[in-house]
Amino acid sequence: AMYATLGCGWLILKTEKGLQQRMYELMPKLIIALLIIFGGVSLYTPLTHPEIADRWFSLPNLFYFSPVPILVLLFVGLILSACKKQDHDLKPFAYTLALVFLAFTGFVISLWPYIIPPSVTIWQAAAPHSSQMFALVGALILIPIII
């Protein structure tokens, strides 16, 4: 649903007339589906993983992390409003990008620092420092050539 919503926003931005109008009509349906999925994941995850529930709902974390779901609802409202007004073609796509960022922010808040919860941290899963340095040197040489 997230990729479909991003694609819909992109088509609103890049097309005109008939296709753009169809995307304006489709976007609210996709946003509602996305909100239902976000809500389902947001309810299921803390109920099945007490450590994630503790991270989100204990004080003072509750105050630090509560802007994420509040901003999700705000951006959903902004997308629905932008689709209704159809006054600026960039708004639906930009607001959907904000939703993607917020979704990943919630994911990171829930899992950090674990890559495989609840046992393997990002540092345990990382390659040895020597391998990372070797890859960095290769990237520093090849990326400018590619660009």
The predicted pLDDT at position 117 comes to: 79
- Give the mean model confidence (pLDDT) for residues 49-78: 95
- Does residue 61 have a pLDDT over 90? yes
The predicted pLDDT at position 118 comes to: 80
> Between vectors from CA 37 to CA 7 and to CA 21, what angle results, nearest 5°?
35
Dihedral angle sign, alpha carbons of residues 33, 106, 90, 3: negative
* CB < 8 Å & 24+ apart, contacts of 55-63: 55/109, 55/110, 56/109, 56/110
State how far the Cα of 58 lies from the Cα of 41, in Å rounded to an integer: 19
The model carries a pTM of 0.83
Model pLDDT for residues 26-55, shown as the tens digit of each residue = 999 999 999 999 999 999 999 999 999 999
Model pLDDT for residues 90-135, shown as the tens digit of each residue = 999 999 999 999 999 999 999 998 888 788 999 999 999 999 999 9
Domain boundaries, the chain: 2-112, 123-147
The predicted pLDDT at position 83 comes to: 96
Question: For every residue of the chain, which 3-state class applies, written as one string?
Answer: CHHHHHHHHHHHHHCCHHHHHHHHHHHHHHHHHHHHHHHHHHHHHHHHCHHHHHHHHCCCHHHHHCHHHHHHHHHHHHHHHHHHHCCCCHHHHHHHHHHHHHHHHHHHHHHCCEEECCCEEHHHHCCCHHHHHHHHHHHHHHHHHHC
